[in-house]
Amino acid sequence: MRREGRSRWWIAAVLVALGIAGCGSDSEGGGGARTLNWYVFNEPGGAYEQAVKTCNESARGRYRINYVRLPTDANQQRELIVRRLAAKDSDIDIIGMDVIWTAEFAEAGWIKPWTGARQRAARAGRLAGPLKTVEYDGRTWAAPFTTNTQLLWFNKDKVPTPPAGITWDELIDRAAKAGTGIEVQGNQYEGLTVWVNALIAGAGGEIVGEQGQDRVGPTAETAARIVHKLATSRAAPPGLATNKEDEARLGFESGRSSYQINYTFIYASAAELPGGFQKKIGWARYPRTVADRPSRPPIGGINLGVGAYSKNPDLAFDAAQCLARPENQLVASEKGGLPPTTEAVYDDPKLQKAFPFADLLRESIEAGAPRPVTPAYSDISLAIQRTFHPPDEIDPDEVVSKLRERIEKAGEGKIF
């Protein structure tokens, strides 16, 4: 099972530091409005603050959303939320949920399903990729708010021909021949699971089925051969086995690599660099795993769930629905670099300005592959990470049996 590795005093200290111990969702806020606590990561651009302000004003005194800031690290977010939900904490009204939490939280009874008119509102106009991340056991458990995916970014000064429709094998060969690197997330953490899952999905496979059953097959070996090929080629950047998103960004910006696989934040970050570096960045769709299949890019993002123990669930649904409105998604894109989940927002000139690659982004998200939807996701992800790390020591011939054994143990709650 999941090894948390953090002591009780540490959690208590974090809770105190965050100011979230006993927030009191049933307390009265301005003018008698019910206070609703929205637990979500601390978005630095101010987008979430503006969404809260907008919804509080439109509520006309019915409720007041209190923005409870969680750490930016997804594992820490989950740990804090899970501990409170497991204790049936009624202070949690709305949850900014990582897309991989849906099945676990639904199965545990920690969130309420969206039904009837609320379900229709949560799904209206949303892209197919994000919708898959709120579904479990035939029901809708959250409203898609923001999303994200990875693109293949390249330095146009060094790569004059855009690598559109390229396979991973072709990309690795091209980079190795040119003596440059491909920045990826190869550390033993969630980013490695994201990479492996996209490779397997791009080959037409999956890791577990809808009922959580083992689906590991030859596509896992295909993924392993690609990971190992990159890690042992001239295209592997220094420190690939410890690379996360930011290390990949820095490697690309420093010039050690002409390519990188990463999220959209790298484009906004480049605007701060001297020499007009941002204008040198080109983009293409996520590479194909196999030549005869389109790629299945990763899907990330934040969904809005309603806590099962909230004392004001109807108001919480109303507030979550307000937060997830297209206009708030647009603000999240402009201020936070977080792509919208509503398709129509991609046609807004403001979004096109913030994301010149908006059309490719929409296409990639629509075609994206969610990570396994299962209550045992945390352990499934850990099994993937241990099987595929370190990348340069993988034996592709043994990956299928190793991954299958570890996933089987994860499903049974055994240590692997």
Read off the pLDDT of residues 28-78 as tens digits, 9 standing for 90 and up: 444 578 999 999 999 999 999 999 999 999 999 999 999 999 998 888 999
Q: Answer with the residue of higher pLDDT: 355 or 11.
A: 355
pLDDT score of 99: 96
Indicate whether 416 pLDDT > 90: no
Complete DSSP assignment for 156-199: TTT--S--TT-BHHHHHHHHHHHT-EEE---SSSHHHHHHHHHH
Indicate whether 7 pLDDT > 60: no
Q: How far apart are CA 160 and CA 163, in angstroms?
A: 9
Domain 8-147+300-366: CATH superfamily, name plus number:
Periplasmic binding protein-like II (3.40.190.10)
pLDDT score of 312: 98
Residue type, 215: R
Q: Where are the domains of the chain?
A: 8-147+300-366, 151-298+376-411
Instruction: Look at domain 151-298+376-411 and name its CATH class.
Output: alpha beta
SS3 of residue 369 by DSSP: strand
Indicate whether 5 pLDDT > 50: no
Read off the pLDDT of residues 141-158 as tens digits, 9 standing for 90 and up: 999 999 999 999 999 999
Read off the pLDDT of residues 305-357 as tens digits, 9 standing for 90 and up: 999 999 999 999 999 999 999 999 999 999 988 999 999 999 999 999 999 99
Please check whether the two domains, 8-147+300-366 and 151-298+376-411, share a CATH topology: yes
Pairing of β 300-306 and β 143-148: antiparallel
0.85 surpassed by pTM: yes
The band of 412, judged by pLDDT with boundaries at 50, 70 and 90, is confident
Count of beta carbons in the 10 Å neighbourhood of residue 54: 17
In order of 77, 81, 137, 296, 320, the CA distances from 56 in angstroms are 24, 24, 33, 38, 11
The band of 80, judged by pLDDT with boundaries at 50, 70 and 90, is very high
pLDDT score of 131: 96
Read off the pLDDT of residues 82-114 as tens digits, 9 standing for 90 and up: 999 999 999 999 999 999 999 999 999 999 999
Q: How far apart are CA 32 and CA 78, in angstroms?
A: 32
pLDDT score of 160: 87
